[in-house]
Structure 1
Amino acid sequence: MHDVLVVGSGIVGLAHALSAARRGKSVVVIERNMRPVGASIRNFGLIWPIGQPLGRRFDRALRSRSIWTELAEQTGMFFAQKGSLHVVHQEDEYRVIEEFVELCSSAHLDVRLLSADETIAKAQSVRREGLLGSMWSPFEVNVDPRQAIPRIADYLASAYNVEFRFGVNAVAIEDGVLFCADQMVEFEQAYICSGQDFEILLPGVRQESELLRVKLQMMRSSALPMDWELGPALCAGLTLLHYDAFSALESLPALKDRVANERPEYLSNGIHVLLSLNSARQLVMGDTHEYGHTLDPFMRTDLNDLVMQEISRLVDMPPINIDETWIGIYAKCLHRSEFVKAVSDQITVVNGLGGAGMTLSFGLAEEVVGGTYQGD
């Protein structure tokens, strides 16, 4: 018998395992794969508070960032606290970041508008041609997810005696017991954090939760020379259309209308550009977004070409080879920032964080496990 069962060893599951273990609970984590291979290792590795609306979600992101900082100190993982730049080239993009900076100023947050010269000083990788300026935020952090996720699991096992059972297929659950293909696991409290596999244990959840799958395409370059630096994590004007932090701004519709008219292929394929530099000095680049219940499993090279065109417009960099391309799939809740549902006194589903799992999971887990969670 364990105090807490967690199904899923991605970032959401690890966050709930950590939160419970810190409260002195005995924890077991069940994972159907032999190691984490899902969306939690197929991302930019960015903790990205600036994409969250100011208020409860932004505060949750900052709490997550604080826990990430503690874990980095304990595990020695790559942890680059370099902030972010939203780089803009059009007047309508500039108006959006200008309006957002005013909101941040009212909330006493150190988010600033930078001129073109100040942007280049902050990130010499940024291409000057057509540059109007940028928005600087100090809050964003870059980790290497392929390194971070296993190290967090190892830390939980060594520091808190969290038990990980990999290669175990969960097939059914009821109060107090999880039925697997080759064993049963008894528990007092369970958190189902199964990502895109949300239908397996609780098939009725999809209809109630409005969960969708989101497919993204990403790329990783060869290692960059030691004398070239990206600087802060970079994004551009298209990113302003993607994150909820900007969705209510009065200046946003004009930007969206222009992109819809001039670059409809970017809007229809959910393309916005982010760049991060990992622990091996490889650029992680993307991405695209396709939404649905059943998604096309194939990689589209034309979409990667569109991403690379936007990157070439954004940064000056040495010639690179694309060493890897991949597809990631995560679960997203249509009308909420996450889906948290106590289906019984002993079983809680936590899913649908979309692309914000790295940013929000640790803060969310503190609320869910601590009994203080309130939805949007």
Structure 2
Amino acid sequence: MRAAYDLIIIGGGVLGSFHAYHALKRGLHVLLVEKDKVPRGATTQNFGQVVPSGMNTKWQAYGRQSLQLYKEIQQEFDITVREEGSVYVASNEEEMQLIEELAKINKANDYTAVLRSKKECLQILPGLNESYVVGGLQFPQEVTVEPRTMIHRLHAYMVKILGLTIQYQTTIIHCESEAGNARVQCSRGQEYIAKKVIICNGNEFKSLYPTLFAKSDLEVSKLQMMQTYPQKAYTLPGSVLTGWSIRRYEAFSECPSYREIKNNEAKESLQQMWGVHILFKQAIDGSVILGDSHQYADASDIDDLGYELDMDIDRFMIEEAKKIITLPAYEIKHRWFGMYSQCKNGDIFQKTIDDTIHIVTGIGGKGMTGSAGFAKEHISKIFNV
């Protein structure tokens, strides 16, 4: 069975889905192929924070485009977007210095950022512990989504409104250039022809091009997260990012004081060993998602990260979270880990084969925030439009 498309996208996560979106908006005939019954990778195993504020200048530009797109789609179709803003909470003078410097950077970039005093932080963030906070930086335009719901609704929107064709539970076993086009073969025997193919999933990249994958600089990060039971009579607005986030996120690396402050950090702490930075986000049902940790391995050695949760890490994160925000209850209902790939020496992995097959993966933790903006530019480049 052969069908002709302008574009076949392999991988139905947020990166592949927004490539499909921008291709459809340009009037292209698009097939999106997803190996699972529903997307279940990094796109669904994260906080659902859309925070361009945490990115360096290049990726903030993509993230700001993404913000606008999320909001535009939400006006047409409910994909769970809530515009409640983000707040970075500084716990000491070093972190306060970094957020003051970031505020100046964002003023120059014409991206709204509001410095908050200790008193203002305590007013806008219920339960925030007075002994923790020195001040804060608020980005009122930023949004949250429900990651396990958003991607399914985005697919439904593109099928219903934009005419997307999706094949779930479809594994691609072969992909090659053929007479100026690209041909893909499925495990069920179907074959599809397209002018272009974009591979947006590390698993398919590994199975379809194992030699190229082995030579890549991809590494995998394992992140542990938790979700409380719904909190009674408690509302936490937007995303709350704390002192360790300030010391970790790429945006702050552009601050003049960043390098010196990082050099003064303790190197042997549990926080450093497990790559922990404490985040909070309240879900629609009133529960609070918190975490997370980061453990790394080369993509070829992903098994070294294990398939179980490390309860020592979870206990450490809960104890640290309690020092920051006092919730009505810290009883945990769900625990999970997510995996995402990233490049050791670049911001995203890209490779083109015979001008017809494009591999783009390894977007790392930038996926939920940066994919929509990046995909718009990438589709324009591939199709010269």
Name the TM-score, length of structure 1 as normaliser.
0.94
Residue in 1 aligned with 2:54? 51
Among residues 30, 34, 43, which one is paired with 1:31 in the alignment? Answer: 34
Give 2:67's match in structure 1, choosing from 58, 65, 68.
65
Aligned residue runs from structure 1 range 215-226, under 5 A = 215-225=222-232
Counterpart Cα distance in 2 of 1:95 and 1:253: 13
Deviation of residue 160 (structure 1)?
A: 2.0
TM-aligned CA distance change 1:304 to 1:258, over 3 Å: farther
Q: Does the 8 Å CA contact 1:196/1:213 hold for their aligned counterparts?
A: no
- Structure 1, unmatched stretches of 5+, are none
How many percent identity over aligned positions? 26
Distance 2:115 2:98 in 1: 11
- Distance in 2, Cα, partners of 1:372 & 1:13: 14
The match for 2:199 is: 192
Kindly provide the CA deviation profile for residues 51-105 of structure 1, in whole angstroms up to 9, marking residues without a partner as x: 1112x32111100111111221222132221111111111211121122222222
Amino acid at match of 2:171: N
1:246 aligns with 2:252: yes
Q: Take 1:196 and 1:93, find their aligned partners in 2: how far apart are those partners?
A: 38
Deviation at 1:207, TM superposition (A): 4.6
Match of 1:105 in 2: 107
- Alignment counterpart, residue 152 of structure 1, candidates 143, 151, 154: 154
Q: CA deviation at 1:313?
A: 1.2
Of stretches 304-313 and 241-250 in structure 1, the one that deviates more from structure 2 is 241-250
Partner residue, 1:21: 24
Listed as ranges, the matches of 1:316-327 within 5 Å are 316-327=326-337
For 1:274 and 1:200, the matched residues in 2 are separated by: 34
Could you tell me how far 1:145 is from its partner in structure 2? 0.9
Residues 196 and 330, structure 1, Cα contact 8 Å, conserved in 2 = no
Displacement of 1:258 after TM fit? 4.5
Is structure 2 residue 205 aligned with structure 1 residue 202?
A: no
* 2:318 aligned to which of 300, 303, 308: 308
2:299 maps to 1:296: no
Native 8 Å contact 2:132 2:323 kept in 1? no
Asked if the contact 2:128–2:324 (Cα under 8 Å) also holds between the matched residues in 1, the reply is yes
Deviation at 1:365, TM superposition (A): 0.8
Partner of 1:162: 164
Opposite residue 291 of structure 2, the aligned amino acid is G
What secondary structure is seen at the aligned counterpart in 2 of 1:247? helix
In structure 2, what residue type is equivalent to 1:221? T
Please say if residues 92 and 254 of structure 1, whose CA atoms lie closer than 8 Å, have aligned partners that are also in contact.
no
Determine if contact 2:113/2:140 at 8 Å carries over to the other structure. Answer: yes
Aligned-residue offset at 1:112: 2.5
Pairwise CA distance, 1:257: 4.1
Counterpart in the other structure of 1:284: 289
The alpha-carbon distance between structure 1 residues 138 and 195, as it changes in their structure 2 partners (threshold 3 A), is farther
1:11 corresponds to which residue? Answer: 14
2:380 counterpart residue number: 370
SS at match of 1:94: helix
Cα–Cα, structure 1 residues 120 and 197, in superposed 2: closer, same or farther, change >3 Å? farther
Q: 1 CA distance for matches of 2:219 and 2:323?
A: 32
CA contact (8 A) 2:238 2:282 kept: no
Asked whether the equivalents of residues 27 and 162 of structure 1 are also in contact (C-alpha less than 8 Å), the reply is yes
For 2:77, the equivalent position in structure 1 comes to 75
2:280 counterpart letter in structure 1: L
2:284 alignment partner, SS class: coil
Q: Which residue of 1 aligns with 2:242?
A: 236
TM-score normalized by the length of structure 2? 0.91
1:13-49: CA deviations, max 9, x gaps? 1001111111111111111111111110111011110
Tell me how far apart the structure 2 counterparts of residues 127 and 27 of structure 1 sit (CA, whole Å).
50
What residue is the counterpart of 1:347 in the other structure?
A: 357
The whole-number CA distance in structure 1 between the counterparts of 2:25 and 2:215 is: 31
Which residue identity is paired with 1:274? L
Q: Once superposed, what is the RMSD of the aligned Cα atoms? A: 1.8
Query: 2: distance between equivalents of 1:331 and 1:26?
Result: 29
Question: Residue type of the partner of 2:242?
Answer: A
Residue 48 of structure 1 contacts residue 139 of structure 1 at CA under 8 Å; is this kept in 2?
no
Aligned length: 370
CA contact (8 A) 1:125 1:231 kept: no
SS of the residue 1:302 aligns to: helix
Query: What code does the residue aligned with 1:273 have?
Result: I
Deviation at 1:318, TM superposition (A): 0.2
Quote the offset at 1:137 in angstroms. 1.4
* Regions of 4+ moved over 4 Å: none
8 Å contact from structure 1 (residues 50, 139) kept in 2: no
> For the residues of structure 2 that align with 1:125 and 1:16, how far apart are their CA atoms?
40
